[in-house]
Amino acid sequence: MFERRKLTLKENILLVLGSALVFSIIFTVVGPLASHQTSDKIAAFAADGATTTGKVTGKRMEMVMVNKVMTWWLQVEFKTEKGDDRLDSLLVANSIYDRYDVGDPIRVTYVKSNPGWFYIPGAEPTARDVAITDGMSKYGRLAAGASLIGILVVLFAGRGGRAPTGRATKTAAPAPNPPPQGPRAEFGARRRA
């Protein structure tokens, strides 16, 4: 087995800043993708949307274990204009969840060319959703920049004029001790006759 060593303060700081950099880059990339998809859904509902009456076939609440937040899901069954039967789950707000019981009829709006894109009253995509995902990207870029600057500061701060750490440096040989001066210079030494 290999020996596990404790990280130094500098290594801990770099670990935290590196993790923040990775997550902020993810938000920077995912933000525009989610924003674009939400915009596409809004446009598709306007151009190719159809409304039908479906039925609530299931309800469930789940706790996300990482941060202990409750999520509410409705399972909805509906039939498209083409006659295809769909059974999908939809993440909803708790107020929408409480509005329905299993077996209740429910109005479903879906995209004819892509019935996987659907919503129920109160859960429709909005321009606010687009703004939120755009904000994700904006704050991701800011956090990535701040993390990168922090990493550079930790790596390069305090190095001015000193030898880099971890490298051997040449030092001058120590100066020999000067010969003693004064009356006690020969104390304890044997005299030669």
Domain positions in the chain: 9-143
| DSSP-derived pairing of the beta strands 105-111 and 85-92 | unpaired
User: Which has the higher per-residue pLDDT, 162 or 96?
Assistant: 96
Query: How many CB atoms are closer than 10 A to CB 45?
Result: 19
User: Which residue is it, tokens 């409304």?
Assistant: 51
Q: Tell whether pTM > 0.85.
A: no
User: If DSSP codes are grouped into helix, strand and coil, which group holds residue 38?
Assistant: helix
Q: What is the mean pLDDT of residues 121-142?
A: 92
**pLDDT tens per residue across span 142-189:** 999 999 999 999 988 866 555 556 555 566 666 666 666 666 656 666
Q: What is the mean pLDDT of residues 81-98?
A: 93
Rounded to 10 degrees, what is the CA torsion of 63, 69, 70, 75?
Answer: -80
Residues in the chain, overall count: 193
**pLDDT tens per residue across span 17-51:** 999 999 999 999 999 999 999 999 999 999 999 99
9-143 maps to which CATH number?
A: 2.40.50
Query: How many CB atoms are closer than 10 A to CB 117?
Result: 19
Q: What is the mean pLDDT of residues 111-135?
A: 92
